[in-house]
Amino acid sequence: MFKSLMDWLRRCWRKLRGWHWLIQLAVVGFALFVCVAVGYWISDVIAFWDDDKDRGASVVANDVFGDKAAKIVYLDDKDLAYANESDRGQGWSRRDSLWFDNVTQGSDLLPYDFFLVVRQANGKPFRDNENMNNRYRYLARKPTYNNPDGLPIGMVKDNYQGRNFMGFSCSACHTNQINYGGIGIRIDGAPAMSDMDTFLTDLGTALRRAQTPGPVHDAFVKDVLALKDDYSSADAVEKDLGTYAMRLTAYRVINKSDTHYGFARLDAFGRIYNQVLEYVANVQDVETILGELIQEGRISEADIDKGGDNSIKAVLKELDKKSVLNGADRDKLMERLITNLSLKQVLYFRNKMFNAPNAPVSYPFLWDIPQHDYVQWNGIASNAGLGPIGRNTGEVIGVFGTMNWSRSDHWTLAGVFSGQGLLNTSPIDFSSSVDVHNLALIEDKLKSLHSPVWPQGLLPRLDPAKVARGGVVFEKYCAACHANINRTSDQRRIVAHMSAQSDLGTDPQMAVNSAAYAGYSGILRNTYVTVGPGPILLNKQSPVAALLTKATVGVVATPDADKWWGRRLAEWLYDVIFSLRSNNIEASMKSGNYDPDTSAEPLNSIMAYKGRALNGIWATAPYLHNGSVPNLYDLLLPASPMPGDAPGTKYRPKQFMIGSREFDPVNVGFKTDGYQGFLFLTDKLGNSNAGHDYGTRDAKDENGKPILDKDGNVAFPALTEQQRWDLVEYLKSL
């Protein structure tokens, strides 16, 4: 029987003799794919190995704002009481939370050894938990298996091309802590209280201090070498210290904003846009800008020529031989610009090449994100297909992913998928540190993250009667834009209800910048990208939203350059297939009342803001997209006085303090006075607390007349004080 079977197989093999090479290739490819899958499985098991009972949480004894948290818990803590056991926790185990906190995206802010040893002006480590907590509000952690150096939440080790870097993880912006009654509750996926802008500014200052000759410099070099990790010579330390100090200085100048963000906010899109403009820049565009500045009298020919071989002109001439600038090329150019021009002149250059990131927004909360049809505050990103990978790749571009782009000397996948042509033998190679595999895993893991339920055993118990009355108010005034969902259902879907900014009335800056900001397309010029209703041809200057879309496609389509081509291809295929199979969201039209995209205005629809399900909203203060309202009660008040307001009418606060984690369970927000945090001023650009005025006054039509029901009564009258408190109580219960 066995002999007959073997004879039959031999006859089949002889008949397929002409196809032997193809069959062998397929077998090798399949075997390689299986090896990659097994390798990923093993590495992912190790990544979830951490099981610390406290999830790495650490208490900071001396909080600068007087926050009291002698103990840290998560919402599945056995000592917390819930009305229903199904309300406990957020669907994540200890291992899940620790993995999320430690998983790298490919963010490479600075060499890991540098972050371990760089010091504050007082001589204490910059990464000291008290400094991280008190000045920047990054949550403290103790050492655990996958975080052996005890870095704060949001900061992780990334390995790229054999070197270790400190970079940001998703948790830097999407994990928070609420303090009440001496207990700190850490909430996965909640908007962070962190001040990344000040952190980056101070880190740059610390590196420049270490760069200055003297005892601080000598100690820094000695401490780095003592780690015996990536550096074996003082010269190598000196070289990289100069590079990364300069990068942070350039980043600070490029992203200078007259609007101070403070805690709990960041103009992420503005900064991502500027990073993309830096990466796509070519020598010709830089020369164009410098020529314009010379004509305007902002700079002179002498400024361009000074420095001899180190002049701006000499560097531009050297780089002109390259059609694509890599990281080292961009460093060299930015160093010359910053060194040879005055700060005012550099800012003139910045204003022509980049855009002011002056539209800070609150960090979005992450539960239910994979279940959305469109994401981001203005619905700019579709969640269908590979959309989540593209969105997250754009985020890594903004948080210091390494972009080692160059001109390839052979056909590439990225060349095809990024629209550079099937037969192009010298396409742009979009090699980068972006970890597409981990980005796919993060998005998949977020599917099981549930919104937090109000822990009535720790926070004050809810009043059932007020909750019931508030539910009636919610259905009348809120449910049209904020649908109720089952927080734990695998089948839940979130339809983003888009409302035109002109109708909503909230601060327009973020939406305006997203649609209006443009820049030099550089190396992407004369390629096509689909924006809004169809493809557009990228001109010399194009919408940055279109350039970002094009760049992320190229990065996602570029396999990991660290490995040989067969493994790169197999891993890339695995990640793409995994991402597509794990994403149940299909392409669909946007819902709501917004101005549609047209061929003349292809970005019209993002001049809008998103309404979403409000489960867990109690844990996401401050409110509105720009964090301009401190608590839920204030959100139900009118923003400013208007003719006809009754005497004693209360209004949203025009300024308030932010930074404390002490929770206010009555108004539902954080403590806003009695300490010196960041003073939020609503009269600053991007900080308006106007709009979203549903229920704050009688609803009126476009002519200013009250909207009446069929009986002639005001259809949506202003909420009474009792209704406001009932609605707040109901929102706590979601």
Residues in the chain: 734
| CA separation for the pair 675, 689 (Å, rounded) | 22
Tokens for 686?
């991007």
3-state SS string over 162-229?
CEEEEEECHHHCCEEEEEECCEEEEEECCCCCCCHHHHHHHHHHHHHHHHCCCHHHHHHHHHHHHHCC
For residue 130, the model assigns a pLDDT of 94
Q: Under a CB-based contact definition with an 8 Å cutoff, are residues 245 and 201 in contact?
A: no
Domain ranges of the chain: 19-48, 71-254, 272-353, 365-609, 621-734
Cα–Cα distance for residue pair 637/690, rounded to 1 Å = 10
Helical H runs in 341-418? 343-353, 387-398, 413-417
What is the model's pLDDT at position 653? 97
Burial class (CB in 10 A: 0-12, 13-18, 19+), 86: exposed
User: Residue 506 gets which letter from DSSP?
Assistant: S
- Alpha-carbon gap, residue 189 to 175, rounded angstroms: 5
Exposure string (b/e) for 371-391, b if CB count within 10 Å is 16 or more?
A: bbbbbbbbbbbbbeebbbbbb
Identify the pLDDT of residue 644: 83
Q: What is the pLDDT of residue 558?
A: 87
Give the count of beta carbons closer than 10 Å to the beta carbon of residue 580: 12
Q: Which pLDDT score, from 0 to 100, does residue 418 have?
A: 78
Sheet containing 163-168: which strands, arranged edge to edge?
110-111, 163-168, 155-160
Burial class (CB in 10 A: 0-12, 13-18, 19+), 226: exposed
pLDDT of residue 355: 96
pLDDT along the chain (734 residues), means of 10: 65 59 60 67 77 92 89 89 85 94 95 98 96 96 95 95 95 96 95 97 97 96 95 96 95 94 96 96 94 95 90 92 90 92 94 96 95 92 90 93 88 78 82 91 94 92 96 94 91 91 93 95 92 89 94 88 71 81 88 89 91 95 97 96 89 97 97 95 96 87 74 81 97 96
Instruction: With beta carbons less than 8 A apart as the criterion, state whether 382 and 504 touch.
Output: no
Q: Which residues contact 683 (CB under 8 A, 6 or more apart)?
A: 654
pLDDT given at position 705: 76
Region at 82 (left for phi over 0; alpha for psi -120 to 50; beta for the rest): beta
pTM equals 0.93
Rounded Cα gap, residues 249 and 421, in angstroms: 38
Rounded to 5°, the CA angle 373-379-383 comes to 35
Contact 496, 605 (CB under 8 A): no
CA–CA separation, 624 and 621 (whole Å): 9
